[in-house]
Homo-oligomer: A and B are copies of this chain.
């Protein structure tokens, strides 16, 4: 008859690998039906219960107690298995770490491998902060895999790290890829143009794996730990990592992954992301932000990967913005004058310009505070819809009749405050047969006249059309280009071009990190000290990285009660 027998070892510490191996070894002994080897936490008791391994004795065990339960075919088999426990623990196979001598501390490991820039920590949570602090004090970056580390400890560690210009990835950081070497759990991903910062381990893995599957690759992938973007921690690590990727010339596109962060933290990170000047894909999983300039929002990992790969393939050239030559403007030239025939094109332009300038006046404004007092007279930045109902009583639409727009072009061109003019040229059936034929000579003339008054007047035209339109799109573009206009074929591209130009007139202060991490961390071959799960050392070595395993033991031999006594004694010292 099957029999369940249990052993409780109070206040004993073993690492997780030992417990797993012991459980497996017990379960494979002859006459054993099932075995459970866990620390006596509530969650672990709940795990034992459905397998019928929970006894009243285990119910009262504490979280510091080691619980061993064996169900045998009979009592003899169960008891025989329990007798093997010490033997099995002593004989456990090392996880194939090739290392003759195992140092007992981070310090001695660093003497063996002084070039190690990183310390990986995966010991039980209650010891992890102490080990991490030793690493920081030795001037090493920390990859802190351990979970169950307190928030206070995280805040303190990250403050220390930041002051020392060091990174602490974690706690509860499952994954990172530094210089092509995966730390913790990491997929083997092609090197490429995309850098990642993620507060989510499997999120980082899914995004990086999808990037690889889509044919692209990554420069670096930094984990931050799941709480980094909380209000309490303030995204210290995310900011440091973002700053590193911003400075890394290899990184062309940045992806930021996290569950929705605290609002104030999100704001700070998005500001920093925008200041990188690189395209940043933001996946605050499920959180919708409006894409702004170089920030692109994704709501799923797939979308984030696809967007990043697309952006890396087609990095928008900012060269065309330079063509507008803001340095050639006269001193009083400050404002955009947008003269649209398409109402919704004007609307979209207004919307996009919000990303670049504080206020744009219009006869159809997004915010009624910015309604033009007189639609015929521009104020400040102005975008006017010349096809609005008010203009078309007894008058052809400006897509058919260019008269109104030509008058307005001349009017804006003589205004010394006009810095640039934006127009749309809508082709197609029903529209004017040759709009560029009428507009190009005017653009040419007003630019020349402005030049004679000592003003440089860039004109941007968005041509909406196809190569099959009756006007001939290529010929329309050519006429406008010859007249000196910068031509775009997308309203968004035109609006953003003008937006970047306007922003260049009032440059933001660039923010740089107060405690920048030395960029050489992205250049040196990865070498690391590993404290905790031996499989991580094996994994580093398999990837060709130098690594030293520490044969770490908890203080007081893992006797929790003795350790608590030691801790109290320490605290009571003056």
Q: Is A230 at the interface (CB under 8 A from chain B)?
A: no
Q: Is A375 at the interface (CB under 8 A from chain B)?
A: yes
Known: A259-B347, A343-B201, A400-B535. A391 touches B47 (CB 8 A): yes
Known: A46-B374, A299-B290. A429 touches B186 (CB 8 A): yes
Q: How many Å from the CB of A262 to the closest CB on chain B?
A: 16
Known: A290-B286, A394-B39. A542 touches B400 (CB 8 A): no
Q: Is A520 at the interface (CB under 8 A from chain B)?
A: no
State A299–B183 Cα separation when bound (angstroms). Answer: 38
Write the A444-481 contact mask toward B (1 if CB under 8 angstroms, else 0). Answer: 00000000000000000000111111100000000000
Number of this chain's copies in the complex: 2
* B429, A188: Cβ atoms closer than 8 Å: yes
Known: A348-B301, A351-B286. A469 touches B188 (CB 8 A): yes
Q: Is A418 at the interface (CB under 8 A from chain B)?
A: no
Contact of A429 among B182, B213, B345, B427 (CB under 8 A): B182
* A190, B344: Cβ atoms closer than 8 Å: no
- A selection of 20 A-B contacts at a CB cut-off of 8 Å is A16-B395, A41-B390, A44-B394, A46-B375, A46-B376, A47-B391, A175-B428, A175-B430, A185-B397, A202-B342, A205-B428, A206-B345, A210-B490, A259-B344, A286-B351, A291-B299, A300-B348, A302-B490, A302-B493, A429-B543
List the B side residues contacting A341 at CB < 8 Å: 202
List the B side residues contacting A125 at CB < 8 Å: 393
Q: Is A98 at the interface (CB under 8 A from chain B)?
A: no
Q: Is A50 at the interface (CB under 8 A from chain B)?
A: yes
Q: How many Å from the CB of A199 to the closest CB on chain B?
A: 9
State A260–B384 Cα separation when bound (angstroms). Answer: 20
State A47–B429 Cα separation when bound (angstroms). Answer: 27
Q: Number of A interface residues, CB 8 Å?
A: 114
Write the A512-552 contact mask toward B (1 if CB under 8 angstroms, else 0). Answer: 00000000000000000000010110010011000000000
Contact of A466 among B187, B492, B539 (CB under 8 A): B187
State A376–B493 Cα separation when bound (angstroms). Answer: 53
Q: Is A49 at the interface (CB under 8 A from chain B)?
A: yes
State A278–B351 Cα separation when bound (angstroms). Answer: 29
State A391–B376 Cα separation when bound (angstroms). Answer: 69
* B148, A392: Cβ atoms closer than 8 Å: yes
Known: A182-B429, A291-B299, A430-B535. 20 other contacts (CB 8 A): A20-B400, A43-B375, A46-B376, A187-B427, A187-B429, A188-B428, A189-B468, A202-B345, A203-B345, A205-B342, A206-B345, A206-B490, A209-B464, A259-B344, A259-B347, A286-B290, A288-B290, A301-B491, A302-B492, A430-B536
